Amino acid sequence: MTLNFENGVVKKMKNGTITTPIGFNAAAICANIRKKERLDLGVIFSDVPASCAAVYTLNTFQAAPIKVTKESIAVEQRLQAIICNSGNANACTGEQGLLDAHKMRSETAKKLAIPNHYVAVASTGVIGELMPMDKIVTGIERLEPSSSAEGGEQFSRAILTTDLVQKTTCYQTEINNKKITVAGAAKGSGMIKPNMATMLGFITTDAAIDSGNLQTALSDITNKTFNRITVDGDTSTNDTVIVLANGLAENDLLTPEHPDWNLFYAALEKACEDLAKEIARDGEGATKLVEVNVVGALNEDDAGIIAKTIVGSSLVKTAVHGADANWGRIICAVGYSGVEINPDTVDVFIGDIQMLKNSQPIPFSEEDATVYLKGNEITIKVDLHMGEATGKAWGCDLSYDYVRINASYRS
């Protein structure tokens, strides 16, 4: 994929990892945190302290790692490492959980010979169980981050829980005649709802940008990407997205006034969108990625709300799973979205097949619609005919396997 702009291009890179940007290293090991032997402890390390930005879950019960990460960033808005484990969320674990998260931070700092506040902590897995700190401390000592693609690939596997696939992305562009790379890795497949989900996202870039402008960009982009996905309507306790920008590409400092700001912003937005869509695609038990595109809205917020409502509807999700072209469930979700609409002007499409025009049913081929819905990528379009704004959201179908997976998550 190549995005063309008047002042340059943004290209998607094949086989890029979080170690592709200059000066980033990663590693992962099996620390035996899980019941099954697999990679479950990883680290990202920058050669130099990096500007940083982060967004977090809106769940009131924020896990101990989030509290410690916020403490680290608050010191000087810079980070140099992220330590992450899977298999245990360290959430709802009280004072001991907080002590354990601090211990993860201090042990990582000691291993990498950097100050404690340069380390962010992230955890994912089962809620309400104390961390096996003996295994984690021993595991941190064994981590040997490197700039190899293998290190980045291993990290992306170590952060997974019920995910079936790794989620990675990488984009490059040129700013001030310097190659800029933005790369990311994420996990997430269940407890996914708009306004962050049970997901972790880590993005590295060698671009030079201060933490304030990076935070503004990430917050804005999150509202259009990570906050537009839903799998099952649950919001987890640990959700975090962290961006590290170490400046080693040596471009002129990026600000919204920089002539190439749109190139960097587009690279970061596409990386976040890729990861968000991969999370939706890999929803627990999912067989299809569903994209809802709302057009003709009065503003982008309205369009986004309607799109998220449709893709989050259990009835829409089950209809998609069963390849049932039930447009009534779509129009119903539009109606209860809470957005003011004109109930006489709505068009509905599944793929290229129109089923509703000006809120009235029109003839269409059920057979063609069924064939389309049996595919693994489904697009639903709703035209409100009220304005010029658009918005998208992503989710997945709801299958029998979702119940099976979550019925035995702790076993």
The pair of structure tokens assigned to 38 is: 């697999």
| CB atoms near residue 10 (< 10 Å) | 25
d(CA 18, CA 148): 10
Contact 205, 183 (CB under 8 A): yes
Greatest alpha-carbon span in the chain: 68
Radius of gyration of the chain (CA): 22
Which two three-digit tokens encode residue 376?
């693994």
- Angle 166-72-190 from CA coordinates, rounded to 5°: 30
d(CA 254, CA 314): 42
| Amino acid in the structure at residue 118 | Y
Size (the chain), residues: 411
Question: Residue type at 44?
Answer: I
Closest CA to 83 of 120, 31, 40: 120
CA dist 403 and 411 (Å) reads 14
198 is catalytic: yes
Q: 79: closest CA among 48, 107, 42? A: 48
- The one catalytic residue among 20, 198, 235, 240: 198
Measured over the CA atoms of residue 122, residue 128, residue 129 and residue 133, the dihedral's sign is: positive
The Cα–Cα gap between 179 and 10 comes to 11
Catalytic residues: 198
